[in-house]
């Protein structure tokens, strides 16, 4: 099949971003309700999914409880529009098995594909590191017949990371940074985020590259004494974080954290730069470099990062 004839259903915001980065926006026949980049994509393509949980109306603790309740009962927090999938008749369906909180489960997609679009190829992408993300870009490029374009995209992204690393790898001072991946309960960072921190010239606390994000405690975070605290709750935009901060009470002893005392608490767009395994993780590393080493990279602008105050009990 020719590249210009291929019909793609993307069931992940990250794969939608990758498909568009490869110049294949026109081939997308269906996307998720969360696909919002490039900015015009959301209103152009049919939505194949819907969420049973609202970031807009629920607190982070309520969301965590709802997610755990659904998944512990072997349910899902997402619905897949199977009738629409059948109508769109995609040739390629891009999905994942990595996280049931991030997208419709792979089993649901696989079952629906067999019933409604039996000819479609279902591809599950499982990135855990930045290298895995680049491999996914390569894989999608090969599946869609645009391998050369994919190689160029990867080369550009790698060059950007290399430029940041060249300025940070020999620094003696690497600030201790804690990347808070959920507010209540607190989550320590995993997957590619520790790599982003390391490339940007920081020391990532309580997180291991390539491993899953894990629940932690406010006490453990306090004991790690972060010099910089970066709020990146999974799936949140910056305005979501600012709204949730008004509802979240942190322990009073956090007033003594070096990050708090030095006014070094930041909120970043997690959806854009950290939650999604897509090209913009490179942007995330570049923004962190500005926060960690403004003397080298310059201060981040307000669209990149917002310095915030936190509430205490």
- Residue that wins the pLDDT comparison between 143 and 73: 143
Tokens in use for 278?
């897509």
Q: Quick count: other Cβ atoms within 10 Å of Cβ 115?
A: 11
Q: Is a pLDDT exceeding 70 seen at residue 99?
A: no
Determine contact, residues 234/270, Cβ cutoff 8 Å.
Answer: yes
Tell me, yes or no, if the two domains 3-150 and 172-307 fold the same way: yes
- The domain covering 3-150 belongs, at the CATH homologous superfamily level, to Nitrogenase molybdenum iron protein domain (3.40.50.1980)
- Domain edges within the chain: 3-150, 172-307
Q: Quick count: other Cβ atoms within 10 Å of Cβ 255?
A: 11
Query: Which pLDDT band, with edges at 50, 70 and 90, does 74 fall under?
Result: very low
Q: Is a pLDDT exceeding 70 seen at residue 67?
A: no
Q: Which of 172, 255, 264, 193 is nearest to 218 (CA)?
A: 255
Question: Of 2-16, 80-94, 202-216, which range is least confident?
Answer: 2-16
Q: Is a pLDDT exceeding 50 seen at residue 16?
A: yes
Whole-angstrom Cα distance, residue 104 to residue 95? Answer: 8
- Model confidence pLDDT, tens digit, residues 175-204: 999 999 999 999 999 999 999 999 999 999
Could you give the angle at which helices 13-21 and 130-143 cross, rounded to 10 degrees? 60
Q: Which long-range contacts (CB under 8 A, 24 or more apart) does 18-22 make?
A: 18/136, 18/137, 18/140, 18/278, 18/279, 19/94, 19/140, 19/144, 21/137, 21/153, 21/278, 21/279, 22/137, 22/140, 22/141, 22/144, 22/146, 22/149, 22/150, 22/153
Report the predicted TM-score, pTM, of the whole model to 2 decimal places. Answer: 0.92
The answer for residues whose C-beta is within 8 angstroms of residue 176's C-beta and 6 or more apart is 202, 203, 205, 224, 225, 226, 227, 228, 258
**Beta-ladder partners of 307:** 266
**Beta-ladder partners of 179:** 230
160 burial via Cβ count (<10 Å: 0-12, 13-18, 19+): middle
Q: How much is the pLDDT for 118?
A: 82
- The domain 172-307: what is its CATH number? 3.40.50.1980
- Residue that wins the pLDDT comparison between 180 and 249: 180
H or E element, residue 161: helix 147-168
Q: Is a pLDDT exceeding 60 seen at residue 73?
A: no
Query: Which pLDDT band, with edges at 50, 70 and 90, does 307 fall under?
Result: very high
């Amino acid at each position: 099949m020719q590249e210009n004839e291929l019909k793609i259903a993307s069931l992940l915001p990250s794969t939608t971003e990758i498909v568009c980065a490869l110049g294949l926006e026109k081939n997308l026949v269906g996307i998720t309700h969360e696909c919002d980049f490039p900015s015009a994509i959301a209103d152009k393509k049919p939505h194949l999914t819907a969420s049973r949980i609202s970031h807009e109306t629920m607190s982070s603790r309520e969301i965590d409880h709802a997610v755990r309740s659904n998944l512990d009962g072997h349910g899902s927090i997402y619905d897949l529009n199977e009738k629409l999938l059948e109508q769109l008749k995609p040739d390629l369906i891009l999905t994942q098995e990595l996280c049931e909180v991030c997208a419709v489960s792979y089993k649901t997609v696989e079952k629906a594909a067999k019933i409604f679009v039996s000819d479609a190829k279902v591809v599950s992408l499982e990135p855990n590191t930045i290298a895995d993300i680049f491999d996914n870009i390569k894989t999608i490029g090969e599946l869609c017949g645009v391998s050369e374009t994919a190689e160029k995209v990867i080369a550009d992204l790698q060059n950007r990371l290399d430029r940041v690393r060249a300025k940070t790898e020999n620094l003696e001072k690497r600030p201790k940074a804690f990347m808070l991946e959920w507010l209540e309960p607190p989550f320590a960072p995993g997957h590619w985020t520790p790599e982003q921190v390391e490339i940007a010239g920081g020391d990532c606390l309580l997180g291991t590259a390539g491993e899953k994000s894990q629940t932690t405690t406010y006490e453990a975070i306090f004991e790690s004494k972060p010099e910089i605290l970066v709020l990146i709750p999974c799936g949140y935009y910056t305005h979501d974080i600012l709204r949730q901060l008004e509802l979240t009470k942190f322990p009073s002893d956090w007033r003594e954290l070096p990050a708090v005392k030095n006014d070094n608490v930041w909120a970043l767009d997690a959806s854009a730069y950290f939650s999604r395994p897509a090209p913009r993780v490179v942007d995330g590393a570049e923004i962190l470099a500005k926060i960690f080493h403004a003397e080298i990279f310059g201060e981040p602008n307000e669209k990149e990062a917002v310095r915030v105050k936190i509430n205490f009990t």
